[in-house]
Amino acid sequence: MRFMLLQNYGPVESDCPPMTEWSPADIKAHIDFQQALNAELARRGELVDAQGLAGPELAKFVVWGGSGAPVVTDGPFPEAKELLAGYRLVDVEATERAIEIAAQASAAPGPGGVAIRQPIEVRQVLSAPDPEL
Amino acid sequence: MSTTHQSGGSTERAENLLRELAPQVLGALVRRYGDFADCEDAVQEALIAAATDWPAKGLPDNPRGWLIRVASRRLANLYRGDIARHRREELAASWSRSPAQPAPERDDTLIVMLMCCHPSLTPASAIPLALRAVGGLTTREIAAAFLVPEPTMAQRISRAKATIKSSAEPFALPPPDQLPDRLRSVLHVLYLLFNEGYTTSSGPDLARADLSGEAIRLARIMRASVPDDPEVTGLLALMLLTEARRPARSGPDGELVPLAEQDRTLWDAGLIAEGITLISGVLGSGHAGEYQLQAAIAAIHDRAPSHAATDWPQILVLYDLLESMTANPMVSLNRAVATAMVNGPRAGLRLLDGLSARLGDHHRLHSVRAHLLEQAGDLTAAAEEFNAAAARTANLRERHYLATQAARLGCRRET
């Protein structure tokens, strides 16, 4: 079963400040944590892909413009907090395991090594139907 | 799952031979050196070497001997880099022993298969290992078929082998009283592998469809190893009779075409004939197992001139039998469909009510209810159930199909 584990720029459950206000050591610890988690998932044979996305400052919204030019909207966006920040695509044996990984990702450390408790959106990827078909 | 065929027949011939020899070579190596996991790595490397060497230089005089020699050398290299000294000593000791007596090759393939489908493994781990060790596929090919990066698949296979290692299973046939249970594990893994390919819905479809072909190939190997097990034959027949319908199962744009609407002239008559011969040969020879019963049902479908002209009473009898031996709620769901075909949609719907507790909010329950409600003329409720099923399926094509059905009924209501 494949799951997308999505993180956006939304508020985190802890009351930690934005990353721009962290100490360099805390930022490094955070990045190390993410890389270690990816390495662990790869070692377990579960990692399909993991990517971080460029910030909302570079985001664009594009709408087809009919016969005219497409309508391209640049930021800043009032709804920037809802934009996707990054994702992990994992291939696991059961939903429970995807939730376990999401919980682990949500424990990424913030200032002083305290878990920032970022909400992770867990979404199953559409795939093959049940084998019993 | 061949890669390229640029040099035509010789490459293909070399590949087929390699894949046939893979489990035998592994068996010979394990008998000589002992460690299943390391030997399997060494055989994989030898196969990759042969895949480039043979088509270029021609087949060696003794292909099996060539592979064993190269794999043994790879194994020695593997241990040379191994800092554990006792490992090298172990190997040296095993070399000084006289070569093991010629191994029974037919049994070796079976033993390798039983190891790969060890009960301590989940099917998701057993499948790639079996494809590599018995099927002779490369990690890259397996990774491509399952749409994961190669290192991820390599790790999955190593972990599976580590699990087998910790079970301390000897490389030998299990005692006769345990063999039937172990065979069930193998058949379950092959059944899931077949479905993985048959129900493929995303990504490079062709590569995944080949997984069904692989499952059929492995089932044939199993049947050659255990010719007198009727369930092995039943599973092979079930695969062939199901595979026969593949050309009709999706429309020109890949959309799902349900059995009732398939163009039966597209079905593969050769596969159907073979499947029917196989299942006829074992049915009635005693206690019919689940795969035989499923194959018998598939045979009735494949022989029927149309959905309506299908021998539904016979199918219902078979589902009754099947339901009495399995707790699988999907069997009960299919029995409800057969009941509806024999005794009318309302009879089928009544059975579905009793299934809610076991199937909960499963999309298949909603979609079957939708079909039966439509047959019963309750189009509003049917459209709602199609929508409910569409929202709950995890399969893209199925979602398209179900949403289209809901839309069709919605439109009909308005006119």
Which of B248, B282, B309 corresponds to the end of one domain?
B309
**Interchain pair B364, A130: CB under 8 A:** yes
Question: Which residues of chain B are within 8 Å of residue A40 when distances are taken between CB atoms?
Answer: none
B85 with B14, same domain?
Answer: yes
Does B142 share its domain with B205? yes
Burial code (b: 16+ CB inside 10 Å, e: under 16) for B114-147 equals bbbbbeebebbbbbbbbbbbbbbbbbebbbbbbb
Report chain B residues whose CB lies below 8 A from the CB of A124.
394
**How many residues are listed for chain B in this entry?**
415
* Interchain pair A91, B395: CB under 8 A: no
Best of A46, A90, A91 to disrupt the B interface (most B CBs within 10 Å) is A91
Is residue B2 domain-resident? no
Closest partner CB to B399 (pick from A49, A126, A130): A126
Specify the range with the lowest mean pLDDT, choosing from A35-44, A48-57, B381-390: A48-57
Mean pLDDT of B318-333: 91
The distance of A3 to chain B (nearest Cα, Å) reads 11
Average pLDDT over residues B323-328: 88
Residue B232 lies in a domain: yes
Secondary element (H or E) of residue A62: strand A60-63
From B294, B309, B324, the end of a domain falls on B309
Same domain flag for B387 and B413 = yes
Contacts of B153 in chain A (CB under 8 A): 45
Q: Give a yes or no: residue B102 inside a domain.
A: no
Same domain, yes or no, for B121 and B20?
A: no
| Minimal C-alpha gap between B161 and chain A (Å) | 13
- Of B187, B6, B35, B207, the C-alpha closest to B113 is B187
Among A52-56, A62-66, B139-143, B207-211, where is mean pLDDT lowest? Answer: B207-211
pLDDT value of position B1: 47
Q: Which residues of A touch B (CB under 8 A)?
A: 1, 42-49, 91, 93, 124-133
How many CA atoms lie within 13 Å of B275's alpha carbon, on the beta-carbon side? Answer: 31
* A-interface mutation test, from B121, B139, B155, most A Cβ less than 10 A away: B155
Determine the straight-line distance between the first and last CA of chain A, rounded to whole angstroms.
16
- In terms of domains, do B116 and B217 share one? yes
pLDDT at B378: 95
Q: Does B326 have pLDDT greater than 90?
A: no
Q: What is the pTM of this model?
A: 0.82
> Are both B89 and B118 inside the same structural domain?
no
Q: What is the 8-class DSSP label of residue B355? A: H
Same domain, B360 and B387: yes
Per-residue model confidence as pLDDT tens digits over B247-265 = 898 888 777 888 999 999 9
Residues of B in contact with A131 (CB under 8 A): 191-192, 195-196, 199
**B412 and B345 in one domain?**
yes
pLDDT number for residue B78: 80
Residue B3 resides in a domain:
no
Give the residue from chain A lying closest to B121, CA to CA: A93
Check whether residue B297 and residue B326 sit in a common domain.
no
Q: Structural domain tally of chain B?
A: 4
Question: Which stretch of DSSP H or E encloses residue A74?
Answer: strand A71-74
Last-in-domain residue among B258, B292, B309? B309
The residues with which A87 forms a beta bridge, in sequence order, are: A6, A51
State the complex-level ipTM.
Answer: 0.73
Whether B341 and B271 map to the same domain: the answer is no
Does residue B279 lie within any of the structural domains? yes
Residue B142 lies in a domain: yes
| Closest-approach residue (CA) in chain B for A133 | B330
Q: Are residues B128 and B77 in the same domain?
A: no
What is the residue-wise DSSP string for A109-124?
Answer: B-GGG-B-----EEEE
**CB A48 to CB B393 under 8 A?**
no
Question: Phi and psi dihedrals of B320, rounded to 5?
Answer: -60, -45
Residue ranges making up the domain that contains B414: 311-415
End-to-end CA distance of chain B: 50
B113 falls within a domain: yes
Question: pLDDT tens-digit profile of B209-239?
Answer: 688 899 999 999 999 999 989 999 999 999 9
Q: With an 8 Å Cβ cutoff, are A126 and B196 in contact?
A: no
* Cα separation, B227 vs B224, whole angstroms: 5
Q: Give the distance from residue A61's alpha carbon to the nearest chain B alpha carbon, in angstroms.
A: 26
Count CB pairs under 8 A between chains A and B: 70
| Average pLDDT score over chain B | 86
The answer to whether domain A2-124 has CATH 3.40.50.1000 is no
